[in-house]
Amino acid sequence: GAVVSQHPSRVICKSGTSVKIECRSLDFQATTMFWYRQFPKQSLMLMATSNEGSKATYEQGVEKDKFLINHASLTLSTLTVTSAHPEDSSFYICSARDSFGPSNQPQHFGDGTRLSIL
């Protein structure tokens, strides 16, 4: 079945560090991928839509300079949290769907990245 791989699964780093998270679709191609943030016991909040070969689309209230997104190929999107601070600590999850399959395909999610900024 469709698999989305997200790496790393856990990051602990000092305040001011920039952190890159990778999201790969392993057996399908995705022209769009999605990045979510999830706080404890809360639902997923969409941060941005990553578009292959073009700029990402950010949701209202999400700082594009803080959360840099790059979607250089049909199987890879990266999210870089720049100059991370403790308030950026959260669970980040990516998702993708097969862009070349039948319509109304479900989204498939990575296993998330737990980011902890000290």
Partner 1 sequence: SQKIEQNSEALNIQEGKTATLTCNYTNYSPAYLQWYRQDPGRGPVFLLLIRENEKEKRKERLKVTFDTTLKQSLFHITASQPADSATYLCASSGGYNKLIFGAGTRLAVHP
Token code pair at residue 99: 């862009």
Quote the least distance from Cβ 106 to partner 1, whole Å: 4
Quote the least distance from Cβ 107 to partner 1, whole Å: 6
Q: In terms of Cα–Cα distance, which of 86, 95, 87, 85 is closest to 21? A: 95
Window 81-100: residues binding partner 1 (CB under 8 A): 91, 93, 95, 97
Q: In terms of Cα–Cα distance, which of 79, 71, 74 is closest to 101? A: 74
Question: 83 phi and psi, to 5 degrees?
Answer: 40, 60
Query: Does 76 engage in binding with partner 1 (CB under 8 A)?
Result: no
Query: Does 37 engage in binding with partner 1 (CB under 8 A)?
Result: no
Which lies closer to partner 1 via its Cβ, residue 28 or residue 112? 112
Segment contacting partner 1 by CB under 8 A, of 11-19, 68-76, 78-86, 103-111 = 103-111
d(CA 102, CA 110): 21
Query: Does 46 engage in binding with partner 1 (CB under 8 A)?
Result: yes
d(CA 47, CA 94): 10
The H or E element containing residue 12 is strand 10-13
State the residues that interact with partner 1 by CB under 8 A. Answer: 4, 6, 32, 34, 42-44, 46, 49, 57, 91, 93, 95, 97, 104, 106-112, 114
